[in-house]
Structure formats: structure tokens, C-alpha cells
Amino acid sequence: MELQLENLIYQDTAIQAVIKVFDGTEKNTFDNACIEGMRSNFCKLTASQLADNIKAIAKENGIDDETAKLTPIKELIECTGLEACIEMETGTGKTLVYIKTIYELYKHYAFTKFIILVPSIAIRQGTLGTFKTFEKQLESIYGFKVSAFDYDSKKLNKVTNFIEGQHPQVMIMTTGAFASDDRILNRTQREDLFNNLPYIDAIAKVRPIIFMDEPQEGMDSDNMMERLKTLSAEERNERYSEKANDREKTIFKTLDPLFKIRYSATHKTVKNLLYRLTPYDSYKQGLVKKIEVLTVTEKKR
């Protein structure tokens, strides 16, 4: 028996909260979003426009400025520090929400490069399974296909396809894939570098949008915050300068995302909270059988 997608108001609200962050930006095209033959994510909204959008979304969803933890405009310049939180109780369809958000982001803005970061290999496989379960239904609804795969260091051809692809691409991975300098993605001395770049640098060039599933499970450490930060324009130029190509180690080890979106019921770090579905809301709407006071999640192996 095939599982059927449902249009649930609370899920649609969570999806639209993310979509509206980029309200007013021009749609990505081959002409404005391609760098050296690689399709990247492109946004030219000013810091002021982004701040206005984020504040309006939070207000629309009944979240005051203090609770939302709005990012100062200076941190939003050139999308530096652009991230947001969606608070959803476990068991309310969080995975499907961010999968559908990917489809909507491509539909509205033609963003093409997405990374889903999960806490464990088991969750990575489960997320890919959810993609495959609803793939045909979503393709029928939206009229286009999204290519999704789980990262495997032995199948770097898939990473190459992710970087070069002109159509929506989703890479599902754990923090273990790039958490230390000796990981394959971070290595500079390999025969199969991408255009003479370490894979981490090539991925960063396409400015992925990163979905962080349960970020409090190992993604909020100082090490990972450094590897997930967004660079300034000056830092980005330094990273890809000719001088940088002569170095044995990468200058910056970050994925340099255009946007990070955190999904959890128990955020450790809150920035730009756009939508909340609290345990009480979930219980009141009949989405969960009882209010849980303790959540146990699988730790990364």
C-alpha cells in the first residue's frame, strides 16, 4: 500500500515560513547563477530586505522579536549569518516538511543545491527512504524531479554530479563526512580533485542551502560551527585565489552555505525562529497522543 501525501495546514505554514525569507529575490537562471560551469545558489537581497522578511514572517506566525532571536542586520550583509529555525515536535512530519520545502524553493526561486545534515547514518538512510517513498507523487505535483542521494566517500562521482548538476540536487550526509581535516572531502592531496580543488571547496562554490535535522545532536559544537559558517565576500575571494591553490591545506574548511535552516523540537541555538509547533500545539491538534517531556534521539555512530 502506497503512502499518500496530505496537505496539512501546519506543515504548509512551516514550509512557507522558509520560502518567504527570499521574497523579492530574482529567480536563479543559468546566466546569473553559474560559476565556471557550476550551477550555484544566488541571492542578491540586501541585508535590510532579508531582515524585514524574517521579522515579518515571525510576526505573522505569532513570534515576538525577543523569542525569535532576530539576527542583527550587520550579520546579514551578503547573506553572512543567514540562518533560521523551525520548531516542530517529533512525530509531526518534520522530514517531509523540509523535503517539500526543497521542492518549493526550486519552484519559486530555482535554487538547485541542497544539503540535508543529519545526526546518524541510520537517519541518513531513513531520510533518503522518505525521499524515495514520495518521489513520484512530488514529481507529479510539481512537474520536476529532484535528485537525492546519501553521501558515500567511495562514490565521489555522485558529489561531482551534485556540484555540476543544473537541476535540483540533494546530498544527505552526517557531520562525520567533513568533521575533521583527514576526511576525503577536505583532503587537498588527491589525484581526483575537482578542477584542482578539494571537494569541500568545490561544494562551497555552489553555495548550498543546508537543512540541519536535530542540530543540537552534534552540529552546534565549535568545530562544526566553523565548518558550517558563511564566509564574507573578502574571505571567499581569498579562499579561491591563485595563492590559495599553492597551499597544502585549505584556508577555510566551511561549506559556505547561502542559508542554514534548523529543524528541531529542542533547539540548543535559536536564530531567527520563523515557526513554532509546540508540544501543546501538537497535542491540541491531535498530532501526537501525549505530550512528551523527554526526547531520546540516536547519537551519531
- Is residue 95 a contact partner of residue 264, using CB atoms and an 8 Å limit? no
The answer to whether residue 3 is domain-embedded is no
H or E element at residue 226: helix 222-227
- Residue 119 · residue 214 · CB < 8 Å: yes
Residue 297 lies in a domain: no
Q: Measuring CA to CA, which residue among 236, 232, 212 is closest to residue 224?
A: 212
What is the distance between the alpha carbons of residues 169 and 156, in angstroms, rounded to a whole number? Answer: 14
Give a yes or no: residue 301 inside a domain. Answer: no
Containing structural domain, residue 38: 10-284
DSSP string, 147-206: EEEE--TT-HHHHHHHHH-SS-EEEEEEGGGTSSTTSGGG-SS-TT-BTTB-HHHHHHHT
Computed over its alpha carbons, how large is the radius of gyration of the chain? 19
Q: What is the pTM of this model?
A: 0.91
The DSSP output letter for 118 is E
Which run of H or E residues covers position 273?
A: strand 273-277
Would you say residue 290 lies in a domain?
no
Digits of tens for pLDDT over the chain (301 positions)? 577 888 899 999 999 999 999 999 999 998 999 988 889 999 989 999 999 999 999 999 999 999 999 998 888 876 667 999 999 988 899 999 999 999 999 999 999 999 999 999 999 999 999 999 999 999 999 999 999 999 999 999 999 999 999 999 999 999 999 999 999 999 988 878 888 889 999 999 999 999 999 999 999 999 999 999 999 888 888 888 865 555 556 678 899 999 999 999 999 999 999 999 977 677 677 666 554 444 444 444 4
Give the CATH number for residue 188: 3.40.50.300
Domain count along the chain: 1
Q: Does a structural domain hold residue 1? A: no
Q: Would 5 be classed as within a structural domain?
A: no
Query: How far is 145 from 167, CA to CA, in rounded Å?
Result: 8
Domain membership of residue 289 (yes or no) is no
